[in-house]
Structure 1
């Protein structure tokens, strides 16, 4: 009889851990509360349009390749990737934008045009970022966050100062042009913290951006979820949707199963890829590792107000990914991290996948996704959503010199209340816990429960952190811990 594992949730980290555990010989069952799998990476289909509800950026292709290669597969066995050119554009004012193209050589030319002399500085900066990437992605992030010694290697000792300086300091030391500074600070926003709170070592995100580039899976990011689902099922994983987990069953401080919709499902191991804080509420208080005050003191990545919009015409003056940095980032950042409130003039991001992908919108129409970063835990009402849609659409029209509001076929929104309802997300955060210095590696919530044996956690609140590639890695890390900890029964 095989050793059994029940997994809570079906996001990237849960699916990845299921694949690794099934390959190792475990009998794996996934329990997903929603109708469809994918967690935050679900899909919305309506009126001939297709939207990725969550992640829209495909960065770090090598991490996806490494994941699939562990099963003697390739991403191309499941989906088709296209490298975007341009990768994205950044608006700073009306008809005033900088375009980031698909190679470092082209980006260097764009920087030099914007600020004479900056090309040499950019080359040096990206060389350093690549070195950090090689250390981080090929080594550090594949550590389980068990000990501070994981961070001490010959390579990291040489870079110790980079853990105590910040991205903001490093970027502004080399670049004076505010527009270029904003572009270089942008990638670390995926880590969930301000550039002023993010260690310099994380410049490896700049290499992911400029060095590796931005990709798009044909038919959307959800194709990656479907690919991992197909792989998981081929390995024998069972997936039960519309099965929310109400309780983790514990006996003598050992997890022995879960309860879903009044039915008990016993197992030798329980792994949760659901929100970490929520998962611990499925336990008696005495068995929880972290108190409410612990979570309240942590720096969480932002939540988001998202709009999924169908337009009855093709839009102009935008790219697949377009950022709107025409307002003060520092003011918006304070409204997220320092004094949480709805920002008066928010930065926002827009994605138009139908520019690249004919599968996601009817012919002659455009699919648009708009995102405003917000502090988690704010009041969320239909009136506020409507107010902010009008704010950003008005600015969007002015900046891109076109009328779009009169061409909206429909719009749907997703915000803090939805993150809580659909994902049990702590305070409605969208990206998990930020990667600040004091929330890095072994300082993040642990993959293995210290109080309940055979209970493990994976996902963006534990190691390595927020984002899709880190979630895949987190799934591998927890599977490795399970196999080391729990002797396989045959």
Structure 2
């Protein structure tokens, strides 16, 4: 039986482990941290439970497809609830738009803001759904080995959508600034500015308005635990507190890894760890991409996150709440164009305890606050505190309530932590952005060109950033392994 070592235990690594174990390989996963999940770990403290990383459950069909590959369903491992409202967006004090759980309700909300926008939204989402069907049922399940993967009779008809962008597309149809911001928001999950994201990626709007937003009971970490259970049922071995120090290469072939000074030999090595970091585990001659290559790439943002326990229930907030009361373009400039700490940041807040009694003790509220940032910024305790005060002051004003005195728990996570905990390049939070020149075959490869039997998976390779793409990435690398290494 061929032996496979997998580095990391995030969504892509766990998915790859499941597929390969099912095919009959002997799979061992090595995780540097005490708990599995990669960026999707959980923080439990003083009766509060926070998802450290992803908090949005979108594209449920991708999860269903994953579990169906093993004759399972998500409900075999965790319970899902469709959120209503999905989220709300604040533009000023008592000035917000609520996005509910069906397109018909969302169309009414749009029509209230801009006359005639309901029919425009229907046409926009129809187009987005068409793109979603092409992308999710077909394109993203290609391994990015060749440009010809993108060329099909259907995609040729949509070629112009790869050379126009989301920003111009949205503004052609809608004039109301609030509606424009809501439609441009899902692009943030792809890690680039709307002006740098091909129009074809408007399929994210269908994921948002067409499919809706869900919450796994007890949090996103239940999805990790579900996939872990599946992996173990299939015979995967998981070793935590095993940081990989080196990938062993003999005569141009990966033959194992070194963890905590101990060698673990295998026929094949797959890394779901940060791609740039993984290449530093190789001697220079075996690396595919130079430091200059990584420097020139557009990375998705990092984040400053706060995990807050309040000693009371909060008013005027939903499970997911966005705060767009400042200029989006100026904040985006500080992330992508001239990287610096933003003067007035947009921010996002999640209150899982609004939906889930498991997230906080009775009568209390759990809050997660996130500010998107440029990767590689200087990260200090004073800066974190300064920005927390900025957003919590605005939060109080926008939601018409006092909360500062009700904080009984506060933890933060930022650039330095992304580097320390995940070996993340420049402390990025979401991987590499999906711009036109970083799409499909133009992303870092799943299979090493320099080292035989070495493969990669995760957010920096295909198909891209986000939880559903990471699950898909795990499937793609497993398929490539079996293509090149028959049992």
Q: Provide the TM-score with structure 1 as the length reference.
A: 0.99
* In 1: Cα distance, 2:151 partner to 2:182 partner: 31
* In 1: Cα distance, 2:328 partner to 2:122 partner: 25
Q: Deviations over 1:43-87 (max 9, x none)?
A: 000000000000000000000000000000000001000000000
* In 2: Cα distance, 1:411 partner to 1:287 partner: 43
State the partner residue of 1:126. Answer: 125
Do residues 455 (structure 1) and 454 (structure 2) align?
yes
- Structure 2's unaligned 5+ residue stretches are none
Structure 2 counterpart SS, 1:343: coil
Paired residues in the alignment total 487
* In 1: Cα distance, 2:33 partner to 2:174 partner: 46
Matches within 5 A, 1:83-98: 83-98=82-97
State the partner residue of 1:407. Answer: 406
Do residues 278 (structure 1) and 302 (structure 2) align?
no
State the partner residue of 1:305. Answer: 304
Matches within 5 A, 1:74-473: 74-473=73-472
Q: CA RMSD for the aligned pairs?
A: 0.3
State the partner residue of 1:62. Answer: 61
State the partner residue of 1:49. Answer: 48
Structure 1 consecutive aligned stretches of length 4 or more whose deviation exceeds 3 Å: none
Structure 2 counterpart SS, 1:5: strand
Q: Deviations over 1:155-200 (max 9, x none)?
A: 1000000000000000000000000000000001100000000000
* In 2: Cα distance, 1:229 partner to 1:458 partner: 17
- Cα distance, 1:487 vs. partner? 2.0
- Cα distance, 1:115 vs. partner? 0.4
* In 2: Cα distance, 1:439 partner to 1:206 partner: 20
Q: Deviations over 1:424-470 (max 9, x none)?
A: 00000000000000000000000000000000000000000000000
- Cα distance, 1:410 vs. partner? 1.3
* In 2: Cα distance, 1:109 partner to 1:410 partner: 39
Q: Provide the TM-score with structure 2 as the length reference.
A: 1.00
- Structure 1's unaligned 5+ residue stretches are none
- Cα distance, 1:359 vs. partner? 0.7
* In 2: Cα distance, 1:480 partner to 1:95 partner: 51
* In 1: Cα distance, 2:102 partner to 2:408 partner: 36
State the partner residue of 2:7. Answer: 8
* In 2: Cα distance, 1:239 partner to 1:303 partner: 28
Structure 2 counterpart SS, 1:85: coil
- Cα distance, 1:216 vs. partner? 0.1
Structure 1 counterpart SS, 2:247: strand
* In 1: Cα distance, 2:354 partner to 2:19 partner: 36
